[in-house]
């Protein structure tokens, strides 16, 4: 009887090579999401007599612009730049982040924390090389692109998604390490870190709640105006393939439209080319022939629809109620310790809590508004989306007021009005 085995020997793939394979898989899959539909359109004659090379370049530039790479549109006749295309479909951006997160999670699973740098370096280098190769291989006379910017922006998006996947896999050891580190802080530093973490979570919660409210409002508006949306579909007469692509395109920009609806609910409104929309009314103008835009409100006024300006405060109330329950408002403890008159101290603490969480939510909202709008390069469409600063400021006010109300009413969950007196008891 022989002790020999017939199992084939396998050699483990080096970590740096695994990183290259995973990142290139994410890059090719992402590019295919853009290129395949465009290839189908080219094969069905949607681009008339356009050469295959130019159609491929359009696909490459579409893929790059979906990351937020600015494209300057150049007029060959006038030899001048007509405008800059800069617009990020947030639905598509989320897909890119998910692909990068998958790569990060798989590489983290194949590595140990101390050796994770090997696949990470390989993955990032390979992804950025793929992007750089794309920008240098394709060329259109009517598009000007900065190669360095076009390489760094998609690379940064990949790093964010990759980090998301790594942190998700190593979340427990990282959380334990951070918790152990925080416990070594002084009492003041530890309380401050707990307070800031709770404030950040409340800000994120309020923004998520506001986004949900805006999404519900957008869905209701689409339902009310569905006949107009269907009419635009019929007028486009794009056929089966074209209709499918138009539908997918609208699904990818739905998060952008939800963000614009959020701007509308703050009172700031949004612009879509020559069309300016706000709760005070709509200034009609030219706009893209996408069916979803047929649902834009046109007959609203503040006298009859003032109540829509109260909706976002609901998100603030929920955040304030939650923040009270967490019990990490050390700012309130400090205020009570400094002000001897208890009702005055509580009033100041409630106002301060609403202000801090409102400002935090406003800063987060500013980031969302920055990436939800942009420029469609041509004429009035050179600016689309909400006014960033005005929207963020009004959003901070909505959330701040709602948070103060929610934090003040939160003691009702205990069955009676009461106020925390822990600091006073310690002083006594």
Q: Is 251 helix (H, G, I), strand (E, B) or coil?
A: helix
Q: Whole-model pTM?
A: 0.87
For residue 17, CA distances in Å to 107, 110, 178, 181 come to 10, 12, 31, 34
User: Residue 281: which H helix or E strand, with range?
Assistant: strand 281-283
Tokens encoding 182:
């925080």
The Cα 86–Cα 376 span in angstroms is 6
Give me the residue spans of the domains in the chain: 15-174, 187-427
Query: Cα-flanking dihedrals φ and ψ of residue 83, to 5°?
Result: 170, 180
Query: Helix 226-236 crosses helix 239-266 at what angle (to 10 degrees)?
Result: 140
Spell 213-237 as b/e; 16+ CB within 10 A means b: bbbebbeebbeebeeebeebeeeee
Q: Is 12 helix (H, G, I), strand (E, B) or coil?
A: coil
> Residue-wise pLDDT tens for the chain (428 aa)?
444 444 444 456 788 899 999 999 999 999 999 888 888 777 776 666 778 778 888 889 999 999 999 998 887 777 778 888 899 999 999 999 999 999 999 999 988 888 889 999 999 999 999 999 999 888 888 888 999 999 999 999 999 999 999 998 888 888 888 888 878 888 788 888 889 999 999 999 999 999 999 999 999 999 988 888 888 888 877 677 777 778 888 888 999 999 999 999 999 999 887 788 888 888 877 777 788 888 888 877 878 788 889 999 999 999 999 999 888 888 888 898 888 888 898 999 999 999 999 999 999 999 999 999 988 877 677 788 999 999 999 999 999 999 999 999 988 776 544 544 444 444 44
Q: Measured on CA atoms in the order 48, 49, 55, 57, is the torsion positive or negative?
A: negative
Tokens encoding 130:
């793929």
Tokens encoding 405:
């109300």
The Cα 279–Cα 41 span in angstroms is 39
The Cα 223–Cα 203 span in angstroms is 30
Query: Helix 342-372 crosses helix 90-110 at what angle (to 10 degrees)?
Result: 100
The Cα 175–Cα 282 span in angstroms is 49
The Cα 248–Cα 254 span in angstroms is 10
Tokens encoding 81:
């730049």
């Amino acid at each position: 009887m022989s002790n020999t085995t017939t199992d084939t020997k396998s050699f483990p793939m080096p970590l740096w090579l695994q990183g290259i394979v995973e990142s290139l898989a994410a890059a090719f899959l992402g590019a295919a999401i853009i290129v395949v539909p465009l290839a189908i359109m080219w094969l069905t004659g949607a681009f008339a007599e356009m050469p295959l090379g130019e159609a491929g370049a359009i696909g490459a530039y579409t893929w790059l612009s979906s990351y937020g790479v600015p494209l300057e549109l150049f007029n060959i006749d006038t030899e001048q730049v007509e405008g800059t295309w800069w617009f990020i479909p947030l639905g598509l951006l989320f897909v890119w982040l998910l692909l990068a997160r998958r790569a990060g999670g798989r590489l983290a699973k194949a590595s140990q924390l101390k050796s994770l740098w090997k696949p990470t370096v390989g993955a990032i280098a390979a992804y950025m090389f793929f992007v750089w190769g794309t920008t240098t291989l394709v060329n259109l006379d009517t598009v000007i692109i900065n190669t360095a910017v076009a390489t760094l922006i998609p690379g940064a998006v990949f790093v964010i998604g990759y980090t998301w996947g790594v942190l998700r896999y190593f979340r427990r050891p990282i959380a334990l390490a951070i918790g152990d580190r925080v416990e070594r802080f002084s009492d003041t530093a530890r309380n401050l870190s707990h307070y800031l973490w709770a404030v950040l979570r409340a800000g994120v919660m309020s923004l998520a709640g506001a986004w949900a409210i805006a999404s519900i409002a957008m869905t209701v508006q689409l339902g009310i105006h569905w006949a107009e949306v269907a009419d635009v579909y019929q007028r486009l007469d794009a056929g089966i393939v074209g209709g499918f692509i138009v539908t997918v395109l609208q699904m990818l920009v739905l998060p952008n439209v939800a963000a614009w609806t959020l701007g509308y609910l703050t009172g700031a409104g949004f612009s879509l080319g020559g069309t300016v929309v706000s709760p005070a009314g709509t200034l009609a103008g030219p706009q893209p022939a996408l069916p979803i835009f047929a649902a834009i409100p046109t007959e609203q006024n503040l006298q009859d629809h003032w109540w829509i300006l109260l909706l976002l405060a609901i998100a603030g109330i929920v955040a304030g109620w939650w923040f009270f329950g967490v019990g990490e408002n050390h700012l309130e403890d400090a205020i009570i310790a400094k002000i001897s008159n208890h009702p005055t101290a509580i009033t100041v603490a409630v106002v301060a809590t609403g202000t801090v969480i409102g400002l935090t939510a406003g800063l987060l909202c500013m980031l969302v508004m920055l990436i939800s709008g942009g420029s469609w390069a041509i004429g009035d469409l050179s600016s689309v989306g909400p006014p960033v600063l005005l929207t963020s400021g009004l959003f901070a006010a909505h959330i701040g007021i709602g948070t103060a109300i929610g934090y003040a009413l939160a003691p009702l969950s205990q069955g009676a009005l009461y106020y925390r007196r822990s600091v006073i008891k310690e002083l006594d």
